[in-house]
Amino acid sequence: MIPFLDLASLVATDRDELIQTFTRVFDSGRFVMGPELEAFEQEFAAYCGTKYAAGVGNGLDALYLALVALGIGHGDEVIVPAHTFVATWLAITRCGATPIAVEPDAYSCLVNAQAVAKKLSSRTRAVVAVHLYGSVTGIDDIKALCHQHGVPLIEDAAQAHGAASGGVRAGNFGIAGCFSFYPSKNLGAFGDGGAIVSNDLALIDSVRKLRNYGSKVRYQHEVEGINSRLDDIQAAFLRVRLRRLDAENRRRQAIARLYLAHLANIVGLQLPAVGDDGSHVWHLFVVQTPFRDALQKYLLAHGCETLIHYPSPVYRFAPFRMFSPPGESVSDRLAAQVLSLPMGAHLRDADVETVCRYIAAFFKEIA
């Protein structure tokens, strides 16, 4: 079996250091809001190229706290992609705002500035741009649009650790970059975790209060906050994993190049957009085909695991149906055709070539 993702083998290289790291934190007795979190925040901000970072409990909380820190709530509108993971929308509705869906480009699966511009209104309080699948293509144009209209830009960078445009890494284009450290991410923890990066000290100070019951000083609660703190043990593990992130992203890029070369010119299969400057970090390698379900079944029968990101636009889920457009949308068509192939630094070239061979065989059979 060629697994979609093999986390056990991925972290095996760091096993001894991770065990030593656990022992160090265990022996310190500092498990929450301690020195490991502070060190990771400094190191992750430096990696992203931002001035500040604040660790939080997960990626959803990162998005939610960024919105709350900007004062967004009931009566406000937040522009958001229709084709994304549900967490992007949940952060908006959780703070009482209204999500305004933007349809993606059918090729890149990302929204563009022209589509965002059509949704701007006097009630727009923020735009959330999602660096879907690890690509930041088009973010410069969206940044310029938001600046022109005086609307804050928030980056959902949960799939884009290390992705860049023009040498500028994800997290620097908006007022806040929101990351998830779910284990399957390019930079994954050993449980849930998240962070917000920013160059805006006021926003980071607000997030640091909000994540800790509204308090920066113990038992002094300045605002109504929540409990969403990145634990020191996860921060310590992430410090280890962060040192390998660039190397693992380069391996993902090499795997993507193999896929692109071996799958070129297959009729009925659309390959993903590569991006403008080769800085795509390939959290996912997503192809499109009208024969998606049959192809997925065929690959599984031949020992190749795949997943679907995502099988439905968010507005088709029960809590969000009030935001559904009439008729079929671009997001509906993507949901019926996208298929994520195995991707990760654990893959060997031979694994990628095997997956490609079976894909080619499938399309030859149905031709």
User: Based on the domain organization, do 137 and 15 belong to the same domain?
Assistant: yes
Q: Where are the alpha helices (DSSP H) in the chain?
A: 7-12, 15-28, 35-48, 59-69, 86-94, 113-117, 139-149, 201-210, 232-242, 245-262, 292-301, 330-337, 349-366
- The whole-angstrom separation of Cα 226 and Cα 213 is 5
Give, for all 367 residues of the chain, the pLDDT tens digit: 999 999 888 788 899 999 999 999 999 999 999 999 999 999 999 999 999 999 999 999 999 999 999 999 999 999 999 999 999 999 999 999 999 999 999 999 999 999 999 999 999 999 999 999 999 999 999 999 999 999 999 999 999 999 999 999 999 999 999 999 999 999 999 999 999 999 999 999 999 999 999 998 888 899 999 999 999 999 999 999 999 999 999 999 999 999 999 999 999 999 999 876 668 999 999 999 999 999 999 999 999 999 999 999 999 999 999 999 999 999 999 999 999 999 999 999 999 999 999 999 999 999 8
Q: Identify the DSSP state of 231.
A: -
User: Based on the domain organization, do 354 and 207 belong to the same domain?
Assistant: no
Q: Which CATH number covers residue 280? A: 3.90.1150.10
Domain containing 321: what range? Answer: 245-366
Q: How many domains does the chain have?
A: 2
Q: Which CATH number covers residue 144? A: 3.40.640.10
User: Based on the domain organization, do 275 and 128 belong to the same domain?
Assistant: no
Exposed e or buried b per residue across 113-132, where buried means at least 16 C-beta atoms within 10 angstroms of its C-beta: bebbeebbeeebbbbbbbbb
pTM above 0.75, yes or no: yes
1 falls within a domain? no
Out of 213, 242, 271, a domain closes at 242
